[in-house]
């Protein structure tokens, strides 16, 4: 008879203890321990290759003696996903994609599955019926492909199907609905999520089949399940965006096979997700007349330069303490720049409400937009519009100096491609830069005063 025992798991980080604890010693969270029943038993027939392969004990091997061959990545018809993954799908990789409910995770994965024309794809759903998936596939403008659908939640039954079907790509929707008979707790619990992920990881590494897993998130915005889930997988993607906005952003939080600073941008339409090949055009508003408080800045997301619109509104604080509010930008950095403008620039902003917004719903961390933020705030304060043909790409220091930023040539080329006439950069960025090689007017400056005298006319 199988031995049954109970243990307590932290729902936040996955730490386990033999008895209930009020505070988790690993993550420090309170009242997160729940009791789960774990049954230790022999693997039954139906687990991935359980009992069918006899392995010898592994022996240590010198790293120079390991045979290595570069495996070609699987290219998908989705160029945005290829960029985020680092150039395509790596064979044998385990990819986790998370996001808000209704953001479009299942639509993205189904669209990818239908777009892989020459590969046999198995789409396993534990949340939708076959008719619901078919209904969603009908509105996607993707030709017929070798995509097969399986509605199942038991990992043992899934692996039985895999051994006969032998898919080349496996998609799990979602990992929180999967359940393994090796663990007695319910689907979605910490132990179930960890066990199911371990079985899928073993399958991916031994068979060389890439596996995509859709994951839920908690109300705090983090991926549901133990933190070890993110450590086990090769790549963690996050699908972000406001459900009331049509644009979605695919970010990389972890990638063992590429950069973690890349992002892909999509537009949600009635016919599925459309790739946005030139995001700068949608991030800059089309205006018929110039308005004060608006400046265009240059930022980098991975290797991709983007021109984004910074909107600012400065007004007299009539209700007591002045407000400092920002959307898409670090509020502490905003307060620092306001202090610089008041101390070094002489602008009386202490009794002014300041509101800042990054158009398009992006969250920006690149310090190269500091100059655009300062220009937008001063423009709104003075109620003088900045010409829409002017862009900014520089960091601002505490002394009011304009500092150099990385990859200035890419930023200038992107501004030139979009038709900007002038771009203000730091004078220290001009070393080794061929100023005559650009059609756009490059304005090197060292202080904020030089910028305001040039644009506020």
Measure the N-to-C terminal CA separation of the chain; round to a whole number of Å: 86
Least confident span in 42-56, 85-99, 177-191, 261-275: 42-56
Least confident span in 40-49, 167-176, 227-236, 249-258: 40-49
Q: How sure is the predictor about 49, in pLDDT bands with cuts at 50, 70 and 90?
A: low
Q: What is the pLDDT of residue 259?
A: 84
DSSP summary character for residue 57: P
Q: What is the pLDDT of residue 34?
A: 83
- Helix (H/G/I), strand (E/B), else coil: 117: coil
Q: Is the pLDDT of residue 1 over 50?
A: no
Q: Is the pLDDT of residue 170 over 90?
A: yes
Q: How sure is the predictor about 148, in pLDDT bands with cuts at 50, 70 and 90?
A: very high
Q: What is the pLDDT of residue 54?
A: 45
Rounded to 5°, the CA angle 449-443-428 comes to 85
b/e map 418-439, b = 16+ CB within 10 Å: eebebbbbbbebeeeeeeeeee
Per-residue pLDDT tens digits for 69-84 = 777 889 998 999 998 9
Q: How sure is the predictor about 457, in pLDDT bands with cuts at 50, 70 and 90?
A: low
Q: How far is it, in rounded angstroms, from Cα 97 to Cα 99?
A: 7
Rounded to 5°, the CA angle 360-362-364 comes to 135
Q: Which of 295, 387, 369, 308 is nearest to 333 (CA)?
A: 369
DSSP states of 306-328 as a string? EEEEEEEEEEE--SSSPPEEEES
DSSP summary character for residue 408: H
Q: What is the pLDDT of residue 438?
A: 87
Q: How far is it, in rounded angstroms, from Cα 147 to Cα 86?
A: 24
Q: How far is it, in rounded angstroms, from Cα 264 to Cα 276?
A: 8
Least confident span in 179-188, 303-312, 423-432: 179-188
Q: How far is it, in rounded angstroms, from Cα 260 to Cα 252?
A: 5
Report the share of the chain in percent with pLDDT over 90: 46
Instruction: Tell me the β-bridge partners of 393.
Output: 425
Q: How far is it, in rounded angstroms, from Cα 147 to Cα 116?
A: 8
Average pLDDT over residues 191-218: 91
Q: How far is it, in rounded angstroms, from Cα 356 to Cα 373?
A: 8
Q: What is the pLDDT of residue 245?
A: 74
The H or E element spanning position 146 is none
Q: Which of 396, 327, 336 is nearest to 362 (CA)?
A: 327
Q: How far is it, in rounded angstroms, from Cα 223 to Cα 81?
A: 20
Average pLDDT over residues 317-325: 87
Q: What is the pLDDT of residue 417?
A: 87
| CA dihedral for 286, 289, 294, 296, sign (positive or negative) | positive
Cis peptide, bond prior to residue 174, ω within 30 of zero: yes
Average pLDDT over residues 104-118: 90
Q: Is the pLDDT of residue 121 over 50?
A: yes
User: What are the structure tokens assigned to 343, written together?
Assistant: 């101390």
Average pLDDT over residues 123-138: 92
> Are 185 and 39 contacting, i.e. CB atoms less than 8 angstroms apart?
no
- Helix (H/G/I), strand (E/B), else coil: 422: strand
> Are 443 and 422 contacting, i.e. CB atoms less than 8 angstroms apart?
yes
- Maximum average pLDDT range among 12-21, 124-133, 243-252, 277-286: 124-133
Please state, rounded to an integer, the average pLDDT across all residues of the chain.
Answer: 86
**Among all chains, which residue has been given the structure tokens 């990819």?**
95
Average pLDDT over residues 185-192: 82
User: What are the structure tokens assigned to 421, written together?
Assistant: 């006439």
Average pLDDT over residues 80-91: 91
Instruction: Tell me the β-bridge partners of 30.
Output: 23
Q: What is the pLDDT of residue 117?
A: 83
Q: Is the pLDDT of residue 3 over 60?
A: no
Q: Is the pLDDT of residue 145 over 80?
A: no
Per-residue pLDDT tens digits for 325-377 = 999 999 999 999 999 999 998 999 988 999 999 987 788 889 999 999 999 99
Binding annotation for ATP: 99-106
Q: What are the start-end ranges of the H helices in 130-222?
A: 130-138, 155-165, 190-207
Binding annotation: 99-106
Q: How sure is the predictor about 51, in pLDDT bands with cuts at 50, 70 and 90?
A: very low
Comparison of pLDDT for 435 and 57, the residue scoring more:
435
List Cβ neighbours of 380 (8 Å cut-off, separation of 6 or more).
292, 293, 312, 313, 314
Per-residue pLDDT tens digits for 374-405 = 999 999 999 999 998 999 999 999 999 999 99
Q: What is the pLDDT of residue 39?
A: 54
Per-residue pLDDT tens digits for 406-456 = 999 999 998 998 889 999 999 999 888 887 888 899 999 999 999 988 887
Q: How far is it, in rounded angstroms, from Cα 249 to Cα 264?
A: 6
DSSP summary character for residue 42: P
């Amino acid at each position: 008879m199988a031995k049954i025992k109970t243990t307590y798991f932290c729902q936040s980080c996955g730490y386990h203890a033999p008895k209930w604890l009020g505070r988790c010693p690993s993550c420090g969270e309170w009242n997160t321990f729940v009791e789960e029943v774990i049954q230790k038993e022999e693997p039954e027939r139906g687990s991935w290759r359980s009992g069918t392969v006899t392995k010898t004990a592994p022996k240590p091997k010198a790293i120079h003696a390991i045979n290595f061959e570069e495996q070609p990545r699987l290219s998908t018809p989705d160029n945005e996903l290829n960029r985020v993954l680092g150039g395509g799908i790596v064979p044998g990789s385990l990819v986790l994609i998370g996001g808000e409910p209704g953001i479009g995770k299942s639509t993205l994965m189904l669209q990818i599955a239908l777009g892989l024309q020459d590969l046999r794809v198995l789409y396993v759903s534990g949340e939708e019926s076959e008719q619901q998936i078919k209904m969603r596939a009908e509105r996607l403008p993707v030709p017929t492909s070798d995509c097969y659908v399986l509605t199942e939640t038991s990992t043992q039954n899934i692996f039985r199907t895999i051994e006969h079907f032998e898919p080349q790509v496996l998609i799990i929707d979602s990992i929180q609905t999967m359940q393994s008979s090796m663990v007695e707790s319910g689907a979605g619990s910490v132990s179930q999520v960890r066990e199911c992920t371990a079985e899928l990881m073993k399958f991916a590494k031994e068979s060389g089949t890439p596996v995509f897993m859709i994951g839920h998130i908690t109300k705090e915005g983090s991926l549901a399940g133990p933190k070890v889930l993110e450590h086990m997988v090769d790549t963690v993607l996050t699908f972000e965006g406001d459900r009331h906005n049509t644009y979605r952003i695919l970010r990389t939080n972890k990638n063992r096979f590429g950069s973690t600073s890349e992002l892909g941008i999509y537009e949600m339409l009635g016919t599925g997700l459309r790739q946005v090949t030139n995001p700068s055009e949608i991030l800059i508003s089309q205006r018929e007349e110039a308005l004060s408080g608006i400046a265009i800045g240059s930022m980098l997301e991975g290797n991709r330069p983007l021109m984004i619109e910074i909107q600012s509104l400065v007004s007299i604080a009539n209700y007591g303490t002045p407000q400092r509010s920002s959307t898409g930008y670090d509020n502490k950095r905003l307060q620092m720049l306001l202090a610089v403008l008041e101390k070094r620039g002489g602008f009386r902003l202490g009794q002014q409400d300041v509101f800042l917004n990054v158009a398009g719903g992006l969250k920006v961390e690149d310090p190269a937009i500091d100059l655009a933020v300062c220009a937008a705030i001063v423009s709104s304060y003075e109620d003088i519009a900045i010409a829409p043909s002017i862009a900014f790409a520089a960091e601002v220091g505490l002394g009011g100096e304009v500092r150099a930023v990385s990859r200035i040539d890419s930023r200038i080329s992107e501004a030139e491609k979009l038709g900007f006439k002038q771009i203000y950069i730091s004078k220290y960025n001009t070393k080794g830069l061929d100023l005559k090689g650009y059609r756009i007017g490059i304005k090197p400056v060292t202080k904020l005063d030089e910028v305001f005298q040039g644009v506020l006319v």
